[in-house]
Chains A and B, each alone.
Chain A
Amino acid sequence: MTIEATANAPAVPDAATTRPVIHPLWVRVTHWINALAMLIMIGSGWQIYDAAPLFGFEFPTQIALGNWLAGALLWHFAAMWLLVINGVVYLVLGIATGRFRRKLFPIRPSEVVRDLFAALRGKLSHDDLTVYNAVQKLLYVGILLTGVVIVLSGLSIWKPVQFQSLTSFFGGYNTARYVHFGAMTAIVTFLVVHVALAILVPKSLRAMIIGR
C-alpha cells in the first residue's frame, strides 16, 4: 500500500467495520482448518472403505483421496492430527469463552418445531446472524457430538488392543466400523445442507471469512 492510499483512507469507518462481529477470529480460523481436515479425512476415508466395503457399493476412486489403500491411510493418519488438535482447541475455547453456552443453549423443543416449520416455508429470518435459530442450535450441537463420536470410534478401530475398553464401548471392532461409517454419513449430510444454506445466505459465508 502506498502512502497516498493510506492518507486517502476514509477517516470514518465503513460498514464493513461497523457491523457487529459475528464470528471472532478463533472461530473462523478453527472453522476453515476443520473444513480442510474434514475434506482430507472424508476423501481418504472413502478410499479406505473401498478396501473392504461394509455395504454393497464402493466410492469411485475419482472422488476419493490417496489413489490406493496405503496412500489413503497416509492421508487419513496425517490429517487426524489436524482434525483432533484443531477440534480440541475449538472445544476448549468454545467452552472457556462461554460461546457455546450463549450461542447454542438453551434449545427448546417448541422453538425447534416452530423454526423448523418456518424454515420449510422459507420464512426464517436471517437479519441477525449473531443469533442462531433453534434448528441451527440443534444441528450445531448434533454435529459437535457427531465429531466426538467419529473421533472416538476411529480411535477404537485404530487401536482395538490398546484402547480395547473404548472398542468394547462401541460394540467391538466390527460394530465400531459401522459407527464410524454412520458418523461420516451424518457429517457429509450435514455438510451438504450447511454448504447449500451458506450459498443461499451469502452474508453468512462472508461472516465466516471476515467475521462481520
Chain B
Amino acid sequence: MSRTRKPIPGVDPKLLIKDAAKLLPEPSRRFFLRGAASLGALAVLTGCDIVDGDTSEHALRVISRMNDRVQAWLFNPNTLAPEYPESMITRPFPFNAYYSRDEAPDVDGDTYQLEIGGLVDNKKSWTLAELRQLPEVSQITRHVCVEGWSAIGSWQGVRLSDFLKLIGTDTRAKYVWFQCAEGYSNTIDMPTALHPQTQLTLKFDHQTLPRDYGFPIKIRIPTKLGFKNPKYVTAMWVQNNDAGGYWENQGYNWFSGL
C-alpha cells in the first residue's frame, strides 16, 4: 500500500510540513525515567538502579503493550458509553490541542475530500456534501482527556461502522488509520471502529463542526481517551499494520480505552 501523499484539497501544504516537524519527539521527553527524589528512594529500596537507561524504558513499553492486550480483552463491543442530557453539556466545550487555537488547521470545506484507502472495495473520495447525505446519528457523551479532565459534548454524524460497510470494508482487517490536516495521525483497532457509538462526526451540538473542534471531520470515539479522537481528518485507511499515532509514538498507551 502506498503512503505517498497527493496534495490534500483544502489543506495548506506549508502547514503540513511545519507540523510534521512537531512529530519528532522532543529530546527532553526521551528521558522520562531520570532521577527524582522518589526514584532515589526506589534505588535505595531495591539496591539497584532500575530507573536509568533504555532498559527500563523498554520494559515499561513492553508492559504498556501488554496493557493494550488486556484492554482489548476488557473492551466489550456491546457496552455503550454513558449518555447525558443536554443540560449537562460543558459550555463552552474546551478547545484542546498541542498547538494554539489560531494554529489549528483551516480546511476549505468546499474543496475538501475525505480520502479512502486500504482494504476497502470502493476507494472513491468523499466530499462534505456527500457525507452530509448519509443517515445521521447523535450522541451526548463524556470526552475524557489523558490529562484527567473531562467534558461532556454533543456530536452528530455518520456511524463509522455504517460508513465502513458502505465502502465495502474488509472488517477482518486489524486497524483503521486516520491522517489529519495538521500532520496528526491515529490508528485504532477494528472492534472499536465497529462500536455503535464510534462516529464520523460532522456536527457539534447540531451545528456544523467548528474549526476549534476539528472541521470538517472528527472521529468521535467515546470508548477511548480524547487523543484517540482525531480531528481535521483528511484520510482513512483500513489496514493490517499498526501505523501508530502522534502521541502513541511518544509514549502514551496505544489502546487507551475507557
A residues in contact (CB < 8 Å) with B: 32, 35-36, 39-40, 42-43, 48-49, 51-52, 61-75, 77-78, 81, 157, 159-162, 164, 173-174, 177
Known contacts A35-B45, A73-B146; is-contact A68 B29 (Cβ 8 Å)? yes
Bound-complex Cα distance A10 to B111 (A): 92
B250: Cβ under 8 A from any A Cβ = yes
Bound-complex Cα distance A68 to B57 (A): 13
Q: Are B82 and A48 in contact (CB under 8 A)?
A: no
Q: Are A49 and B63 in contact (CB under 8 A)?
A: no
Bound-complex Cα distance A71 to B26 (A): 13
Bound-complex Cα distance A71 to B80 (A): 30
Of A35, A48, A62, A75, which is in contact with the most chain B CB atoms at under 10 Å from its CB? A75
Q: How many A-B residue pairs have CB under 8 A?
A: 110
Q: Size class of B's contact patch?
A: 35 or more
B residues in contact (CB < 8 Å) with A: 29, 31-34, 36-39, 41-42, 45-46, 59-61, 63-64, 67, 74-76, 79-82, 142, 144-150, 222-223, 247, 250-253, 257-258
> Please, which residue of chain A has its CB at the minimum distance from the CB of B74?
A162
Residue from the list B247, B251, B258 in contact with A159, Cβ < 8 A: B258
Q: Are A69 and B63 in contact (CB under 8 A)?
A: no
Binding site of A, secondary structure by majority: helix, strand, loop or mixed?
A: helix
Q: Are B36 and A159 in contact (CB under 8 A)?
A: no
Q: Are B34 and A74 in contact (CB under 8 A)?
A: no
4 smallest CB-CB distances across A and B, nearest first, come from A71-B32, A43-B38, A70-B251, A67-B32
Q: Are B31 and A81 in contact (CB under 8 A)?
A: no
